[in-house]
């Protein structure tokens, strides 16, 4: 695995470790107030990044394109902003809500970009 695929898989592992640590922290403290942050970290972070990694691994020609790199950075920056912002928002810092909103829109834009990249690749006639 190399390039964008490796970057996404590395990001996925980081998300998994952070999400699991948050889950353990909630279990130990018996305070589950960060459950939405945990869920976003595990699904939007770990799962989606891993799926993106394997897609780009399976389609190396697509992974070489500039759009794939843009997809990685848009996903990484907006996803990290979303998870961190959500953590602070749920901790009672309402002022961070605009960052959460912007990050959410950025993450959605990254998924739209992935659809634009992936669907033609998987439907391409051999």
Dihedral sign (CA 36, 27, 84, 8): negative
The b-or-e profile of 31-51 (16+ CB within 10 A means b, else e) is: eeebeebbebbbebbbebbbe
Written as six digits, the tokens of 99 are 């960052």
Query: H helices within 30-65, ranges in order?
Result: 35-40, 48-58, 60-63
Number of domains, the chain: 1
Written as six digits, the tokens of 54 are 């394997």
Domain that residue 104 falls in? 3-123
Q: What is the pTM of this model?
A: 0.92
Tens-digit pLDDT string for the chain (126 aa): 899 999 999 999 999 999 999 999 999 999 999 999 999 999 999 999 999 999 999 999 999 999 999 999 999 999 999 999 999 999 999 999 999 999 999 999 999 999 999 999 999 876
């Amino acid at each position: 695995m190399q390039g964008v695929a490796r970057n996404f898989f590395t990001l996925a592992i980081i998300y998994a470790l952070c999400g699991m640590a948050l889950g353990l922290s909630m279990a130990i403290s018996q305070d589950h107030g960060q459950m939405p942050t945990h869920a976003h970290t595990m699904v939007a972070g770990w799962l989606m990044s891993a799926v993106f990694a394997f897609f780009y691994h399976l389609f190396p020609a697509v992974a070489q394109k500039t759009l794939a790199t843009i997809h990685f950075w848009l996903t990484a920056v907006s996803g990290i902003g979303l998870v961190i912002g959500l953590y602070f928002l749920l901790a009672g810092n309402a002022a961070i809500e605009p960052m959460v909103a912007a990050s959410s829109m950025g993450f959605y834009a990254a998924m739209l970009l992935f659809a634009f990249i992936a669907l033609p690749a998987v439907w391409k006639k051999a």
